[in-house]
Structure 1
Amino acid sequence: MKRSILPLLLLLILVACNVEQRKEIDFKEWGNYWFQGKAEISSFQLSQHRYGESRAGQAVLIFVTEDFSRKKHVKLDNPDEAGKDKISVLKMNQTRDFITGIYPYHMMLSAFTPTKEASQGLKFTASVQEWCGQTFTQFNLSKKDSYKGKLYSYFEKEGDQSINIQGLMEDELWNLLRINPNQIPLGSARIIPSLFDQRFNHQPFASEEAFISIKDISERRSQLEVIYAKGFRELRIDFEKTFPFHIMGWEEVTIRSNGQQEKTTATRLAVSTIDYWKHNKIEDEYLRQELRLQ
C-alpha cells in the first residue's frame, strides 16, 4: 500500500513545484524575435510637461531578454551554472532627456518581467538626475503581488525610506504588452502608478484603483488605456496589433486638483534591432544618427 501511494505523492510534489506558464502565446515565433541575442531600440520625440510647461526632449525604449537571478534579482554572470536560480526576463529600459530652463533632466526606468512564467514583474527601478540632485527608487517582488521598496532622495521630507506595497506595477504593462497584449489584465485592478509619475509629483507610494482597457484606433494599431478612478492620471500607449507589438507612442495626462491637465506625449522616430553593447567605439556613433538620437 505504501508503494502504491509513493508515486502519487511524487506526482503531487512535481505539480506543486511546477510554475504556471503564460498561455495563448506562440513562443516559437516569440523566441525567434526576442532570443536572437539582440535588443530592440526605439527612439521617440518627447514633449514632457514639467513646471507648468511642455519641454521638448527625447525618449528611448530598450527591450531585451536576459537571464536573471530569482534570488538576487540581478543579471546572471554565469547563467549556465545557475540551475533553478535562472529565470528568463524581458527587460525594459526607458530613458527621458529634456531641458528645464538652464538645467537638464536625465531619467531612467527599468522593469524586469518573466518571459514564460506567469509571474508579476520581479524588479523595478527608477533614477532621476538634475542639477538640484538625484533620486533612486527600487522595488522587488517579495511574494505573489507584494513589493518591498526603497527610496533614496535628496529631499528632506522624503529622505531614505522603506516601502511595502501590493498591486500591479503600471510600469510592467509595457513589458506585458510586448510579451503579448493578452497578458494584460483588463478591467478594474489595483495599480501602483509609474515610478516616474511618483518622482514628478512626490506623492506617497500607494496602489490605486484603475480601469485598464485595449481598443482599436486604426486598422493596424491598438491603444492600451489606464484611467485611475480618483481622476489624477491617465496613460495611453499606442502599439501595432501584430507581433512583435511595436510601441508607436504614448500619452500621459496628469489632472491637478484645480482641473488643469498636464499632458506628456511621445511619438516614435526610429527603431533598430541590434546588439548595441558590441558597438561602443567612436566609429559606431553613426548608429545614433540612424536612430535619430541627438
Structure 2
Amino acid sequence: MKAFVTKHFLLLVIVAAIVFALAMKATIFQQATVHDVPMTEPSASFRQYWLSGKAELNRYSLEQAQYGALNAGDAMLIFATEDFRTDLHVKAETPESRDKAVPVLKTNLVKRFTTGIYDYSLFTSVFTPINNPTFPNTLKVSTSEQDWLGHSYLQIDYGNNGYQIDGRSYLEKEVHDAYSVPKVMLEDELWNRIRLDPGKLPTGSIKLIPGTMTARLRHKRLDPLDATAKLDDYEGVLFPGRNLKAYRLEYPTDERNLMIVFEYVFPYKIVGWTETYTSNDNLLTSRAVLRTTIQSDYWNHNAPADSVLRDTLMH
C-alpha cells in the first residue's frame, strides 16, 4: 500500500483536490447556479410597473383565420412577473425553491372564437427571464388547444443549449411529438421581448421557431425557419395608441407574415397585431385590436362580487 501511495502520490493529490473542490462547489465542473452572475438592477419605472404585485390585463377584439374564413372572437394578453424554477420549469411556490428560481416576465395569450356551430379556445404561456445573464433564453412555452373535436397540448423546454419539443393530440398524426431543435429565438417570446426592451428586438435576416398557437391551428412542425424582421413606424389607422411602432416578420418559405404593433414608450403596451397566411386556399389576415387595459392582482379576485372587474375589462 505504501509503495502504491508513493508511486501515485501526485495523482492521488489531484483526485483529492477535485473531490474537495466539488464538495465546496468551487470548480469548473460545477454548473453555474442561479445567482452566479449578478443581474442588472431593473429601473425604477420597471420596478414600479412590473414588480408592484399586479398583472397587466389586455382585451382585444379578434378576427381569427380558420377553415378558410375569418371568425369573430376575443383575445387576452396577460403579463405578470413571477419567480420561475430553472430546474423544473414551474413557478416557485415555496421558500426552499427560491434559490432555484429566477424572476421572469410571463405572457399568457388567450384566444377564443367560434367556427360555425362550435368553439375554439387556445392558451399559450411564455416564461422569459428578466435580464439574467446566466439564463438569457426563454425557458418554457406551453400551448393548449381545445375545440369540439378534441384537444391538444404542446410544450417547449430549454435545456442542453437547445429546445425540447413535446406534444400530445387527439389527432392520429400528432398523437405524440417528441423532438429537439437548435437554440434560436422563439416567435412566442417576442411579446415579452417587446415589453422588456423593444430596442433589442432582432432585425434583418434571422431564424425563429414559429409561434406555437398558429402551428397547432395549421398542424405544422416547429422547425426553425428563416425570417426577415423589421422595426419601423406604424402609419396605419387600425390600432389605437401613441408613438406606435410595428415589428414585422416575414417567413418566405412558409408564406406567412406577422406584425405586432406597440407603443414605443414605457411600458411598451401592445395595441394589436395582424397575421397573414393561407387557410383552405384563401389568403387571410387575422387581426386583434386592443379594447381595454387594466392592472389587477386578479388571482385575489375570484369571488362572485369580483365580476364587476370583469365587466370593466370586457366593456
Q: Note whether the superposition's TM-score is higher than 0.5.
A: yes
Q: Alignment partner for residue 53 of structure 2, among 17, 34, 37?
A: 37
The answer for unaligned runs of 5 or more in structure 2 is: 1-25, 236-241
Change (3 A) 1:233 1:156: same
User: Does residue 282 in structure 1 map to residue 298 in structure 2?
Assistant: no
Instruction: For 1:62-81, list aligned pairs within 5 A.
Output: 62-78=78-94, 80-81=95-96
Q: CA deviation at 1:81?
A: 2.8
* Residue of 258, 268, 291 corresponding to 1:245: 268
- Counterpart in the other structure of 2:293: 271
Q: Name the CA distance, whole Å, in 2 between partners of 1:257 and 1:109.
A: 24
Taking only aligned residues, the RMSD between alpha carbons, in angstroms, comes to 2.3
**Counterparts of 2:264 and 2:313, CA distance in 1:** 23
Code of the residue aligned with 1:160 in structure 2: it is H
> 2:302 corresponds to which letter in structure 1?
N
> For residue 251 of structure 1, what is the amino acid of its counterpart?
T
Q: SS at 1:244's partner residue?
A: coil
Matched, 1:60 2:82: no
Write the distance in 1 (CA, Å) between the matches of 2:68 and 2:257: 18
1:104-253 superposed matches below 5 A: 104-118=119-133, 119-144=136-161, 146-166=162-182, 167-218=184-235, 220-253=243-276
Structure 1 unpaired stretches of 5+: 1-9
- Larger deviation: 39-48 or 248-257? 248-257
Conserved 8 A contact 2:83-2:98: no
Of residues 283, 286, 290, the one that matches 1:261 is: 283
In the alignment, the residues of structure 1 paired with residue 98 and residue 250 of structure 2 have an alpha-carbon distance, to the nearest angstrom, of 41
1:157 CA displacement: 1.1
**Is the contact between residue 231 and residue 255 of structure 1 (CA under 8 Å) also seen in structure 2?**
no
Shift of 1:204: 2.1
- Any conservation in 2 of the 1:198–1:205 contact (CA below 8 Å)? yes
Pair 284,148 (structure 1): closer, same or farther in 2 beyond 3 Å: same
SS in 2 for 1:291: helix
Q: Which amino acid aligns with 2:56?
A: E
**Separation of aligned partners in 1, 2:112 and 2:98:** 39
In the TM superposition, what whole-angstrom CA distance separates every residue of 1:149-198 from its partner, at most 9, and x where no partner exists? Answer: 11101110111121201221100000000011023222221101100111
Fraction of identical pairs, as percent? 33
Number of the residue aligned with 1:27: 43
Q: CA deviation at 1:62?
A: 0.4
User: What is the aligned counterpart of 1:93 among 108, 111, 131?
Assistant: 108
Deviation larger for 82-91 or 123-132: 82-91
Question: What CA distance in whole angstroms lies between the structure 2 residues aligned with 1:105 and 1:20?
Answer: 43
- Where 2:173 maps in the other structure, the secondary structure is coil
**Residue type at the aligned position of 1:98:** F
Q: Does the CA-based 8 Å contact 1:220-1:240 persist in structure 2?
A: yes
- Partner AA of 1:237 in structure 2: I
**Contact between 2:103 and 2:129, CA under 8 Å: does it hold in 1?**
yes
> Which AA in structure 1 matches 2:249?
V
Q: In 2, distance between residues paired with 1:256 and 1:131? A: 19
For this pair of structures, how many residues does the alignment match?
278
